[in-house]
């Protein structure tokens, strides 16, 4: 009797391999052949699940986004019911910043994907809805004259801190100090 294959599990195995290649060697090193070798499967198997590199990249981008959502959900859930808005926002951002080895790997991959989407409008289109939802949610936590503009600024700060952490310009401590200083402006005591 033939072995039953879980297609979603195989796709995730391939996406994990893609992310390891991207984290270690950069997105430019991602090819069907390199990903297959890292996943321990044949290039034909990778092509069975992903006809093109772009399909494989789009799926991996979805996996990165899902993992980020899980990290944020776990962090926020630990706060209990109805946490203060400043604590909720800080917790969300800290969960997304590359402050440990695993989140740094994820951050390098996410940064590579952002560069990838910068030159591929179809891939970037998927991010528009997610970004708009995030801006709206952050804006709902703020009591300032322009909550949407302030929310966009907070998200830009988060991305900038992430880049500085990944590049080594900021330590985790320095990034958290900058985050807290900005949150103090939005949530005066």
pLDDT tens digits along 158-181 = 999 999 999 999 999 999 999 999
Residue 2: inside a domain: no
**Confidence (pLDDT) at 3:** 60
Residue 180: inside a domain: yes
Residue 77: inside a domain: yes
- Those residues whose C-beta lies under 8 Å from the C-beta of residue 146, and which sit 6 or more positions away, are none
Count the neighbouring beta carbons within 10 Å of the beta carbon of residue 138: 24
1 pLDDT tier (thresholds 50, 70, 90): low
State how far Cα 106 lies from the chain centre.
7
Q: What distance in Å separates the CA atoms of residue 159 and residue 29, rounded to the nearest whole number?
A: 24
Residue 21: inside a domain: yes
Tally of domains in the chain:
1
The parent domain of residue 63 ranges over 7-186
Residue 90: inside a domain: yes
Residue 41: inside a domain: yes
Buried b (16+ CB within 10 A) or exposed e, 102-114: ebbbbbbbbbbbb
Look-up: residue for tokens 């997304």?
Answer: 96
Q: What is the pLDDT of residues 10-60, one digit of tens each?
A: 888 888 888 888 878 877 778 888 888 888 998 888 888 888 887 887 777
63 pLDDT tier (thresholds 50, 70, 90): confident
Residue 166: inside a domain: yes
149 vs 109, residue with greater confidence: 149
**Confidence (pLDDT) at 170:** 97
Residue 57: inside a domain: yes
CATH code where residue 136 lies = 1.10.357.10
Query: Residue 186: pLDDT above 80?
Result: yes
């Amino acid at each position: 009797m033939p072995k039953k294959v879980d297609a979603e599990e195989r796709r995730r195995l391939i996406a994990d391999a893609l992310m390891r290649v991207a984290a270690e060697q950069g997105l430019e090193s991602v090819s069907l052949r390199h990903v297959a070798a890292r996943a321990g499967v044949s290039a034909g198997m990778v092509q069975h699940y992903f006809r093109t590199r772009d399909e494989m990249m789009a799926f991996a981008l979805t996996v990165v986004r899902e993992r980020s959502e899980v990290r944020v959900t776990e962090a926020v859930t630990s706060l209990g019911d109805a946490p203060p808005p400043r604590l909720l926002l800080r917790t969300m951002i800290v969960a997304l910043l590359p402050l440990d080895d695993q989140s740094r790997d994820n951050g390098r991959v996410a940064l590579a994907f952002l560069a990838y989407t910068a030159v591929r409008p179809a891939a970037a289109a998927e991010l528009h809805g997610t970004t708009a939802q995030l801006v709206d949610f952050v804006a709902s936590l703020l009591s300032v004259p322009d909550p949407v503009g302030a929310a966009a600024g907070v998200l830009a700060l988060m991305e900038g801190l992430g880049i500085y952490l990944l590049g080594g310009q900021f330590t985790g401590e320095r990034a958290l100090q900058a985050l807290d200083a900005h949150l103090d402006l939005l949530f005066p005591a």
